[in-house]
Amino acid sequence: MFKTLDDLNPEQRVLVRLDLNSPVEDDEVQDNRRFDRHAETVRELADAGHRVVLMAHQGRPGGDDFVSLEQHAAILAKHVDHDVQFVADTYGDEAIDAIESLSAGEVLLLENTRMCDEELPEEDPEVKADTEFVQTLAPYFDAYINDAYSAAHRSHASLVGFALELPAYAGRVMQTEYEANSSIATREFDGQVTMVVGGTKATDVINVMNNLGDKVDQFLLGGIAGELFLRAAGHEVGFDLDGMDFFDDQWEANRDTIESLLDERGDQIKLAVDLAYEDDNDERAEIAVSDIDEKDRAYLDVGSETVETYDPIIRDSEAVFVKGALGLFEDERFSVGTVGVLRAISETDCFSVVGGGDTSRAIEMYGMDEADFGHVSIAGGAYIRALTGAPLAGVEVLK
Ligand SMILES: Nc1ncnc2c1ncn2[C@@H]1O[C@H](COP(=O)(O)OP(=O)(O)OP(=O)(O)O)[C@@H](O)[C@H]1O
Ligand SMILES: O=C(O)[C@H](O)COP(=O)(O)O
């Protein structure tokens, strides 16, 4: 497959790509599980006495979250429990000086790779390997390590270019994410395979359903995709506030796929039997889907009876994959669906993967233990791709 840190020679000068892309609120970078996960790889390399130079990106040019990585260095240092130096340069003289003055066991983070013009355009690895960015930095290193699984669907210079110029290895995060997230496409399970599908990115998850073919036995639906399927089944759901066309647009974009999925695999697709909404007293109220006769309100969660029908399906499964929340779980009133399925998964010993940055946040928010899940992914777009068995550019160049 690919080489890992177990194959690395001692005392190397290593260039390591992490994915520390994080939410930024009021110019403050928010700590999150990406730091914690990557800290393991960084600590292992520093403890082994390598000279460790880190690359990562934050946001996209033009966005409010397109900021320097200075704060990331401080947050990472806390998680690694080791000093992380920072230099506000990617491959200029300042960066090279800092790289050259590193001693064994020291760690240095370079500036946001997306501040470098050659990083972003999606191009073939050979083109990226030929950039000044890669050609300038590569000679200062003995090895390249990619730990940024969650960015590996991008063919950017720091993700694909160095792997063609230096001996390339997968970091610990890359290794575990790859193995768990590809398993739906690559592994044979003895029993029932179930996928929980929700969230707001309806087109993405509907494509996953469409591409997975016979790999999944049961789909349990909620969120926006769930409402679109209910609409296809003839129910008056998918309410848009005045002046908005969100549901109508999603419906137009996905209608053909939804109808053919229902046609071909309708018995494998479980839809909500009741839904929850906010009543006039700002409280959670529920209604049976069969009683909905007008499209006049927004639904923010699946109902309790739906959770009761989904629960035994999860408990009977050999493997459960989650992509997207079943409701607006950030508001406790509408967390019943998401927490209900996650709790069922955590109480069984099935193989499980929970993906999506937002959805996996529900685990800690509602006091569940990550250790009760097979794998909690820190990837968004890369997880979606892995679920369909599509190759990831950053992984292919490691192979
Ligand atoms: N019925 C609903 N109405 C409004 N929001 C919903 C509803 N159902 C789910 N959500 C929202 O969906 C979000 C999670 O799904 P989403 O697809 O956006 O992200 P994800 O898959 O968790 O992560 P990533 O952003 O990393 O891909 C949650 O934040 C939740 O509030
Ligand atoms: O946060 C992510 O999902 C990855 O870092 C990819 O970021 P991007 O969507 O801006 O390329």
- Asked whether 95 and 102 are in contact (CB, 8 A), the reply is no
Identical fold between 5-177 and 187-368: yes
Residue ranges per domain, the chain?
5-177, 187-368
pLDDT score, position 356: 80
pLDDT score, position 243: 83
Tell me, what's the ipTM? 0.94
Determine whether the shortest distance from the Cβ of 58 to ligand 1 is under 6 A. Answer: no
pLDDT score, position 214: 83
- Asked whether 243 and 217 are in contact (CB, 8 A), the reply is no
Question: What is the CATH code of the structural domain delimited by 187-368?
Answer: 3.40.50.1260
In the chain, which residue ranges form alpha helices assigned H by DSSP? 33-47, 70-80, 93-100, 125-129, 132-137, 162-165, 172-186, 202-212, 223-232, 246-265, 304-315, 336-347, 357-365, 381-387, 393-396
Was 114 annotated as part of a binding site?
yes
Distances (CA, A) of 370 to 196, 295, 322, 339: 18, 38, 14, 13
Determine which residue's CA is closest to atom 15 belonging to ligand 1: 199
Q: How many whole angstroms separate alpha carbon 395 and alpha carbon 127?
A: 17
Was 357 annotated as part of a binding site?
yes
pLDDT score, position 102: 98
pLDDT score, position 332: 98
One of 1.10.10.1100, 3.30.830.10, 3.20.20.70, 3.40.50.1260 is the CATH number of 5-177, namely 3.40.50.1260
- Which residues have CB under 8 Å from 339's CB, separation 6+? 329, 362, 366, 368
Give me the residues paired with residue 144 across strands.
Answer: 15, 168
pLDDT digit string (tens) for the chain, length 399 residues: 899 999 999 999 999 999 999 999 999 999 999 999 999 999 999 999 999 999 999 999 999 999 999 999 999 999 999 999 999 999 999 999 999 999 999 999 999 999 999 999 999 999 999 999 999 999 999 999 999 999 999 999 999 999 999 999 999 999 999 999 998 888 889 999 999 999 999 999 999 999 987 899 999 999 999 999 999 999 999 999 888 899 999 999 999 999 999 999 999 999 999 999 999 999 999 999 999 999 999 999 999 999 999 999 999 999 999 999 999 999 999 999 999 999 999 999 999 999 887 888 899 999 999 999 999 999 999 999 998 888 999 999 999
pLDDT score, position 388: 83
- Name residue 157's amino acid: A
Q: Which atom of ligand 2 is nearest to the CA of 19?
A: 5
Determine whether the shortest distance from the Cβ of 181 to ligand 2 is under 6 A. Answer: no
Q: How confident is the model over 189-215, as pLDDT tens digits?
A: 999 999 999 999 999 999 999 998 789
Using the mean position of ligand 1's atoms as its centre, give its distance from the Cα of residue 107 in Å.
36
pLDDT score, position 82: 97
Q: How confident is the model over 91-127, as pLDDT tens digits?
A: 999 999 999 999 999 999 999 999 999 999 999 999 9
pLDDT score, position 186: 83
Determine whether the shortest distance from the Cβ of 21 to ligand 2 is under 6 A. Answer: yes
